[in-house]
Amino acid sequence: MSEDVLKKEKKPIIFSAIQPSGTITLGNYLGALKNWVSLQDSHDCIFAIADLHAITVRQEPAQFRRNIIEAYALLLACGIDTKKTLFFIQSHVHTHAELAWILNCYTQFGELSRMTQFKDKSQRHTDNVNVGLFAYPCLMAADILLYQADLVPVGADQKQHLELARDVAERFNGVYGNTFKLPDGYYPPVGARIMSLQDPTRKMSKSDENANSWVAVLDKPEDIMRKFKRAVTDSEAVVKYGENKLGVNNLMGIYSSVTGKSGEEIEREFEGKGYGDFKTAVAEAVIEELRPIRERYERFIADKAYLEEQYTKCAEIALKISARTLDKAMKKIGFIKGKH
């Protein structure tokens, strides 16, 4: 993507970032990444590997470095195209941390203390309730506001953070005049919430202790088949949506996401068939959806020079674009511009 693309085409700007957690699940892919890929033609997309966000939890340095580069390679394999999209590593663009500090000073302590994710994570990590965990939403706001984003893809767990970003931007604009665009949420269509294969009342998560409850994008075909064959269903043995059929509903949602078939089409396809046939078909569809991603990933991860070329080029452009917003905000506050 050239530096001028954002100015010329006047498409809505969309920003999103994902942490380099070490594993990207089928839920991450169907709920977010597949949607990111489809947005590239209709929006000016800016995507990042959110490595700064990741250090609110202690990281083992060598593994952290691997996670970052593997996440970058995997998102390229999923279809992120750096000819269309700015896709960089967050820590390579220093304006994110700089604006985050400024926004800290325009965010109220009470606002951050009410963040549900802070309450949840501080209870889970009682030995490391650090300031970064508390101020995390200010960095997230900086990520978004730096690029004057129109839209931010959000799940249910991120709505509160987006609302805070809007509140802080509005507060700053109220004091200094129009500086930041107020972003809206972008709510993706079907497949946005993929549930655990073993407990369909919970979202699919790699942190689940039961390895059969989640599928990784890079899982081997035989492992994917095994996990789906063990997926929780019910005793009715009828493939249809239902209020008390959470496991079947989840499998139908996954099948719909990878095949494009509607619920009614799926019900007709498996009319008179049992759950064994249905689970096998879902697994086969997922395997075929993920096969080209795994193949592309193996090529990308073996070519470190190519990966470095892509993330370096994108970071340079992202820095030029984001610096305009940061310089504007700093000038309005009264800072003296230095030479850099």
Contact yes or no for 208/23 (Cβ under 8 A): no
Task: Find tokens 């033609």 and name the residue.
Answer: 41
User: In degrees rounded to 5, what are phi and psi of residue 84?
Assistant: -105, -25
From CA 190, how far away is CA 188, in angstroms rounded? 7
Q: Which long-range contacts (CB under 8 A, 24 or more apart) does 195-202 make?
A: 195/27, 195/246, 195/250, 195/253, 196/250, 197/227, 197/228, 197/230, 197/231, 197/232, 197/247, 197/250, 198/230, 198/231, 198/232, 199/232, 200/232, 200/246, 200/247, 200/249, 200/250, 201/246
DSSP 116-161: HHHHHHHHHTTT---HHHHHHHHHHHHHHHTTT-SEEE--GGGHHH
How far the first Cα of the chain sits from its last, in Å, is 24
CA atoms within 13 A on the CB side of 161: 24
> Which residue numbers are catalytic?
121, 203, 206
Contact yes or no for 312/93 (Cβ under 8 A): no
Nearby residues of 113 by Cβ (< 8 Å), 6 or more positions away: 134
Q: Extract the tokens encoding 234.
A: 């019910």
